[in-house]
Structure formats: C-alpha cells, structure tokens
Amino acid sequence: MKAPDDKVMHPTKARTQSWAKSIADIVVIVLVVIVAKTAIAEPYYVPSGSMEPTLMIGDELLATKYPYGYGSASLPNFIVLPNTPRFLGSLPKRGDVVVFRWPGDRSQIWVKRVIGLPGDRISLTDGRVSINGTPVGIKADGRGQAENENGALMPAARFIETLPGNRQHTIFKLSGIDPLDNVPEVVVPPGHLFVMGDNRDNSADSRVPVRAGGVGMLPVDDLVGRVEAIVGSWDLGMMHKPIWTWPSGLRFSRFFTAVH
C-alpha cells in the first residue's frame, strides 16, 4: 500500500512534460550554437578561386568573430538583419584575410584580404599596389596553376607581395595585362576598408564598385571575422568523376593549416 503522500502522475501529463523538456533541451542547444557561432567562430566554405593560391575552391575555413568586435554582421550567416555599429570593435591589420557580408546582398558571405585601412591612399600601376604613395614589395615566385569553378586549370604567375609591417603573402597573376591592373589613387573613407583577392585577375573586390558586382569600399560594420585556418578541403573537380573516386579529392595536406 502506498503512503498517503505518494503521488502518481497521469500518463498523459507525463508525456506532455517529457515533450516539453525535450523541446526545451533542443532550444537550449540551438541557442548555445547560435551564441558560439556569433561570439567565437564559424566555418565557411570557399566556392570561388578569387583568393588563390592562399585559399582554394573547396576549402573549409574557420573564422573567429572576436578580433574585430560584434555587430549584426557577426550573427550566423542565415540570420540577416540591418547593419548596426560594432561594439568592442577594432580595425583589422593590413594583410588580414577577412570574411564579410557583401554590401550588395548581406546574405552573402565573401572573403578577401585587407590592403588599405581608413585614410590610406591606394592605387595600382601595372598591377603593383601602392599604399600612401609607396609601392608595396613584389617578388617573382615561379609559376602555379589557378583553378576555376568548373575544375579547369590555367597557368598563373606567382608573386610574393609584402605589405607595410613586413606581412607577406602569395598572389597569382593570370595575364600580363588586366583591366584592373591600373587604378587611380583613392582615399579609403572613415569606417571603410580596401580589400583585394589574392588571385588578382579573378577577383571582384574594392577595385570594382558594388553596382558592377564588386565590393567597393567595404564598410567595417560588414566585417564578420578573421580567417584563422583551413579545417578541411576537397577538390570540387572530383564531382565530374565516378563517385567511388571522390575520397581521393580530399586534400589532407591542407587540413588544419593556418592562413596567412
């Protein structure tokens, strides 16, 4: 016999409470994921060759959110809200590889390298960047191969570019002469950045206005984060081959490598 104060829950009520707890647990998990992806880091996939050879088509990036502060752009990429000022904000350094919301459609996440900071004077002459009237260092580094979105390869000249502060990175030039090789001097406005792709002849960046499909001067408030590492990579050209060969497209040498 049960003691008088023993309680037996009705089965329907027990099931309701079980469902409510499960839903609450799921909500908590989703909130934790959103907070982590907003405040700490988020992975991104590279669909184009505009940052080759630094980033390849099929790379999976990890970008940290905290280096430049937080705003509506910091939210997970499936959440699109009007732009807001940043708090705990700081400017990138020249040479940082950044992910940002494209000013032409903030649901799109793009990746480029920071070349100019607010107040900098930027120009290009025959493909060579000048910052505040001084040409950046450039040194030939042999040949490479650039990949386009359908997996085709094309020869590219490699160069090592050195920005102020002795930050070096490798760039590609696909042709000797390109319409974007010469850009008259522009002054980066307050609250904006001048960004470029490392594949200089295949990048719609700050050399191209937003109305023409480029980035134009990138508002700092559109920054999402700084690219820290490649966490995985798969050669998309394998999609045109038999499925059983797809594992051979994994680029294990690029897994968990730092991005400079």
Annotated active-site positions, please? 50, 112
- Answer whether the bond into residue 118 is a cis peptide, omega within 30°: no
Helix (H, G, I), strand (E, B) or coil at 154: strand
3-state secondary structure 67-127: HHCECHHHCCCCCCCCCCCCECCCCCCCCCEEEEECCCCCCCEEEEEEEECCCCEEEEECC
**CA separation for the pair 158, 144 (Å, rounded):** 6
Residue 6 φ/ψ region, left for φ over 0, alpha for ψ in the -120 to 50 degree band, beta for the rest: beta
Beta bridge partners of 60: 45, 232
Query: CA torsion sign, 236 to 102 to 113 to 228?
Result: negative
